[in-house]
Amino acid sequence: MLIHQNYFQHNIIEAGAHWVDSPWRTVNNINNTGFPEPVPFAGDKRVFMDRYFYDVTNPVRRELHRKFIRQCLENFKDNNGVIQLLSAEYTGPLRFMQFWLDVIADWEKETGIHELVGLSATKDVQDSILADPIRSKVVDLIDIRYWSSRDDGTQFAPLGGQHLAPRQNMRLEKIGKRSFRQVYNDVLTYKKAFPCKAVMYSFDRSMNFGWAIFMAGGSLAGIPAVQVDGFLQAASEMKAVDTTENGVYRLADLDGAAIFYLDGDQVAEYRYTAPAGNYKVIKIDPVTGKQIGKTVYIKGERSIQFKSDVKSKTVFWLKRL
C-alpha cells in the first residue's frame, strides 16, 4: 500500500528554510501565488505561512489548490492500494479539510473513479467531518494520528488551526501515559461508530500497541507476520467483541470462529464456550508470530480453557472446521 500525503505542512510552519525553497512561494512560482514577499519571518527564522496557505478565499490560490488536488488524484487513478491523506503533519483548520474533501467529491463524481480517502487531522477537525452527513461519505478511512487518550481518562487532543505543528503541540502539553486498553478503546470507539470505515492508529507506530489496534478491528496494525496460514484472512471477516474480563480481547465472526488475545499480566486463564461445531485451537506467539505447540482439536458447546504463561501475552485462534 502507498499512503500519499497530498501536502507537507512542515514547509509552511516552523523552519523558514523550507518555505524559502517551497515551489508554492511566490518568487519560486510562475502562477502568481500571491504569498507575501519578503517572507514574514518570526525572529529571522520561523514562519507561519499556514494562515495564508490554508486561506481558500483567495481566488488564485483556491484554484491552484483545486488543480493540485485533482492532479494528486489523477496520478494514481489507475492504481489500487493507494490511500490519499491531506497532508503530513496536518494540524490545520477545518475549512481546508472541507475544501479538500469537496474537491475530491467533485473529481470522483466527474470521473466515476473512487479513491481511498483517509481522514487524518486533529480530533476536533476529525469529529466535525465525521458529523457532516455529506463530507463524511467521502471518507473511507479514519487515521488516529494527532491525538490519543491517556491512562487517566483524559486526552491529548490539541485543536486544529492554531498555527502549531504536531511537535510544537507536544512541547506545550505532555502526551501522557497510554495503555494497551486505551489504544484499543480509541480504535474500537471509531470502529463501532463508523463500522463501514477502516480505522488506523498512527499516533504511535511502535510494536507495543499493534495487537491493541488489531484486536479492536483496526487496519494496518503493527503486528508481526503471523506464520499460520489463513490467520489474516480469517481476522478480516471478524469484528471486535467487548469482553467483561480485564486482559481478554476477542475478535469473532458469525460462524463461531474467534481470535483471543490474553494479557498474562492481568489474566493467565480464560474459559470460553464456543457454539456447536468442530474447531481447532492454534496458539500463537504475538512477538514472533509463530505457532506455539501443537494444534488442539475440540468440539463446541463445551468449556474451553485458554491458558497464557504468567506475565506473557498469547494469541489463540479458534478456527471452525
Could you tell me the residue ranges of all domains in the chain?
2-177, 226-321
- The per-residue pLDDT for 71 is 98
pLDDT at 206 over 70: no
The tens digit of pLDDT for each residue in 182-196 reads 999 999 999 999 999
The answer on pLDDT for 39 being more than 90 is: yes
- Give the angle 178-88-183 at the CA atoms, nearest 5°: 20
Rounded to the nearest 10 degrees, the angle between the axes of helix 59-74 and helix 94-111 is 50
Q: Are 120 and 112 in contact (CB under 8 A)?
A: no
Question: DSSP letters of 178-244?
Answer: --HHHHHHHHHHHHHH-TTSEEEE-S--SGGGHHHHHHTT-SS-------STTHHHHHHT-EEE--S
Share of the chain above pLDDT 90, in %: 84
CATH class of 226-321: mainly beta
Res. 45: pLDDT tops 90: no
Q: Is the pLDDT of residue 106 over 80?
A: yes
Cα dist from 28 to 20, 290, 294, whole Å: 9, 54, 65
Distance CA 288, CA 9 (A): 37
Give residue 265's pLDDT: 80
Averaged pLDDT, 82-104? 98
Average pLDDT value for the chain: 94
